[in-house]
Amino acid sequence: MDEQILLNNLLFGFPPAKDPKQLNPLVLAYMGDAVYEVFIRQFVISQPNHRPNHIHRQSTQYVSAKAQARSLQRWSPHLTEEELDIVKRGGTLNPGRPPRMRMSLNIGTVRLLRA
């Protein structure tokens, strides 16, 4: 048990400087990107084909802004009011640079999916 506590403190020993509800949505998206990518990588390597080019292409099908926007559209009916509020906050974000690819999907909303 003591080893588990030590491991948790080593891996997650840095609590946020603020209450998560008060963090900038871009900060939440930054952390959410990492968590989501690890989840997708775990899924991809659970599949039978492990050629590097294949796993990269398969991963990018899930982590692209367009794919995340589609996921958000599917998940939206299942979100709580609090989660929907976070999504709405994200819809007005401007990270300081335009997206590389213009699309009809709201990029700001996708950022909050990652959070």
- Active-site residues, by number, are 33
101 Cβ contact partners less than 8 Å away, ≥ 6 residues apart: 65, 66
Q: Using the 8-state DSSP alphabet, how is residue 46 labeled? A: T
Q: Are 115 and 86 in contact (CB under 8 A)?
A: yes
For residue 35, CA distances in Å to 1, 69, 92 come to 25, 17, 23
- Cα–Cα distance measured from residue 34 to residue 42, given in angstroms and rounded to the nearest whole number: 12
